[in-house]
Amino acid sequence: MSSSCAGMSPNSVWQSPSGATASLVVTFDELPRTILGTTDRNLEEMQPRASYSPTTDDATSLDWEAYVPRWLGWVGTYRAANTQKSYEPRVRKVLGRIGKADLRTIAYPDVEGCLSVLESEGGAWKPNTRNGYIAALRSFWRYLIDKLDLDELGVRDIGRKLDTIPSERVNREKTQYPPPTKDEYEAILHYAEANGESEWALAARYKWTSISRILDLYTLRWSQLDLGPKPKASYRKPSKHGSDLTKLLDPGLAKRLRALKDLRQSKPEDPVFARTDEPEKAFKSRFNRHLKTNAAKAGIGKYLHPHLIRAAARTHALGQRVPEHFLNRQGGWSVRSASDAYSREDPETWREWVTYLALD
């Protein structure tokens, strides 16, 4: 009896006193070979190992707060910066109120119940407020499920279960405030200019003529303005909808802007209307406050809000039979069809119509 990996000692065979049984004592004088045919055994293979426990830094951590920054980074790649900013506090508010850290423990009744509580605390949400919360929550869970596959770890797709208010009902319940007329708006501007608020009035003039959102006023830099014979403003990335947006300006507005630039001795990357290092929220609040104060003192009793200026300018221009296509481009509304990819029109084509947006 022989083996390539064992040998017997000389005293391997012995017999019991009765002679009935015999046994062999076998000793091994070399290590057995591994499956690979070598004698290099890993000694750690025979040692007990510590069990693995995921930490909060691991990809398997399911604390919802750990995923919010990554989700916001994903949102920022395909949505406007303002949308990203509005999504974050909504998601944090809902999940923070629920009080469950682990995503696997959050259920649909938790989220729906929290939304109901938040709505009741606010007295009654505006028609589209709930839809804003739902959009943020759906986006968050879509990232978790579709991009990170956390459903495989037991996370439920809560966003899919949340219902929005139909757009027909939202539009039916939304309050439609009448926009100021051109004469009323000019009365506000003239009052402001006569009382030492020429810079605010200039921002308000620009907002009307360019049909701009408030964020586009806030981000505007002098380098974006061409104040020559054919004045215009260029946005590589406007606050919403695409890129390379050109807004035509009238000569009167350009003259006022040149005077302000010369007065300030402005550099190309200085803000035009915002103060240096002024937060976006502070700029919006300041513009809104001046709008309402000057309107009240000018005797304009209508409800006013910065976003309503866009409606006012568009309504006035449509009444002057200005082409809607020009207004959509001037205001940055996303209504372009696939055929626009084949258009190579010069924005100057529409210059004759900007005169109807000019203010005295």
How far is Cα 82 from Cα 8, in angstroms, rounded to an integer? 83
- We report the CATH number of the domain holding residue 162 as 1.10.150
Over the stretch 32-45, which tens digit does the pLDDT of each residue have?
444 444 444 444 44
More confident site: 309 or 174? 309
30-39, 232-241, 266-275, 310-319, range with the lowest pLDDT: 30-39
pTM: 0.59
Report the run of H or E that residue 15 belongs to, with start and end.
strand 13-15
Please report, for residues 86, 251, 340, the alpha-carbon distance to residue 277 in angstroms, rounded to integers and kept in the order given. Answer: 21, 30, 38
- Same domain as 352, residue 225: yes
Tell me which of 135, 166, 197 is where a domain ends: 166
Category of 23 on φ-ψ map: left (φ > 0), alpha (ψ -120 to 50) or beta = beta
- Same domain as 248, residue 110: no
Indicate if the pLDDT at residue 265 is higher than 90: yes
Q: What is the mean pLDDT of residues 108-117?
A: 94
Residue span of the structural domain in which 215 resides: 182-333+347-357
51 in any annotated domain: no
pLDDT given at position 79: 81
29-43, 66-80, 229-243, 276-290, range with the lowest pLDDT: 29-43
Indicate if the pLDDT at residue 225 is higher than 50: yes
Indicate if the pLDDT at residue 9 is higher than 90: no
E strands, 208-315, are 225-226, 232-235, 245-248
- Same domain as 309, residue 201: yes
200 in any annotated domain: yes
243 in any annotated domain: yes
Which tokens sit at 67? 């995923």
How far is Cα 177 from Cα 300, in angstroms, rounded to an integer? 14
How far is Cα 216 from Cα 287, in angstroms, rounded to an integer? 13
Q: What are the residues whose beta carbons fall under 8 Å from the beta carbon of 266, sequence distance 6 or more?
A: 222, 260, 272
- Same domain as 100, residue 74: yes
- 143 C-beta neighbours (distance < 10 Å), count: 20
Q: What is the mean pLDDT of residues 58-65?
A: 74
Confidence band of 173 (pLDDT split at 50, 70, 90): low
Q: Check if the beta carbon of residue 209 is closer than 8 Å to that of residue 313.
A: yes
Inter-residue long-range contacts of 87-94, CB under 8 Å, 24+ positions, other chains counted: 87/135, 87/136, 87/139, 87/140, 88/136, 90/132, 90/133, 90/136, 90/137, 91/136, 91/137, 91/140, 92/68, 93/118, 94/118, 94/133, 94/137
More confident site: 24 or 330? 330
Tell me which of 166, 195, 219 is where a domain ends: 166
pLDDT given at position 45: 41
Indicate if the pLDDT at residue 3 is higher than 70: no
Q: Check if the beta carbon of residue 191 is closer than 8 Å to that of residue 294.
A: yes
- Same domain as 93, residue 68: yes
Indicate if the pLDDT at residue 200 is higher than 70: yes
Of the candidates 313, 309, 284, the residue with the CA atom closest to the CA atom of residue 82: 284
Is residue 16 classed as helix, strand or coil in its secondary structure? Answer: coil
Mean residue pLDDT across the chain: 82
pLDDT given at position 88: 95
- Same domain as 162, residue 112: yes
How far is Cα 24 from Cα 341, in angstroms, rounded to an integer? 91
How far is Cα 154 from Cα 2, in angstroms, rounded to an integer? 56
- Same domain as 196, residue 299: yes
- Same domain as 143, residue 227: no
- We report the CATH number of the domain holding residue 293 as 1.10.443.10
pLDDT given at position 1: 46
Tell me which of 166, 190, 217 is where a domain ends: 166
- Same domain as 137, residue 94: yes
Is residue 54 classed as helix, strand or coil in its secondary structure? Answer: coil
Confidence band of 83 (pLDDT split at 50, 70, 90): confident
102 in any annotated domain: yes
> pLDDT exceeding 70 applies to what percent of the chain?
76
Gyration radius (Cα) of the chain, Å: 36
- State how many domains the chain has: 2
pLDDT given at position 50: 38
- Same domain as 156, residue 71: yes
- Same domain as 71, residue 123: yes
Exposure string for 219-251, b = 16+ CB within 10 A, e = fewer: bbebebbebeeebbbebeebbbeeeebbbbbbe
Query: Phi first, then psi: what are they for 276, rounded to 5°?
Result: -60, 130
Confidence band of 262 (pLDDT split at 50, 70, 90): very high
- Same domain as 216, residue 192: yes
How far is Cα 239 from Cα 243, in angstroms, rounded to an integer? 9
pLDDT given at position 166: 79
pLDDT given at position 351: 87
Over the stretch 277-294, which tens digit does the pLDDT of each residue have?
999 999 999 999 999 999
Q: Which amino acid is at 12?
A: S
pLDDT given at position 336: 52
Q: Check if the beta carbon of residue 133 is closer than 8 Å to that of residue 115.
A: yes
pLDDT given at position 42: 46
> pLDDT exceeding 90 applies to what percent of the chain?
59
46 in any annotated domain: no
Beta-bridged to residue 159, according to DSSP, are: none
pLDDT given at position 181: 93
Over the stretch 309-357, which tens digit does the pLDDT of each residue have?
999 999 999 999 999 889 988 998 875 543 444 444 567 777 888 888 8
32 in any annotated domain: no
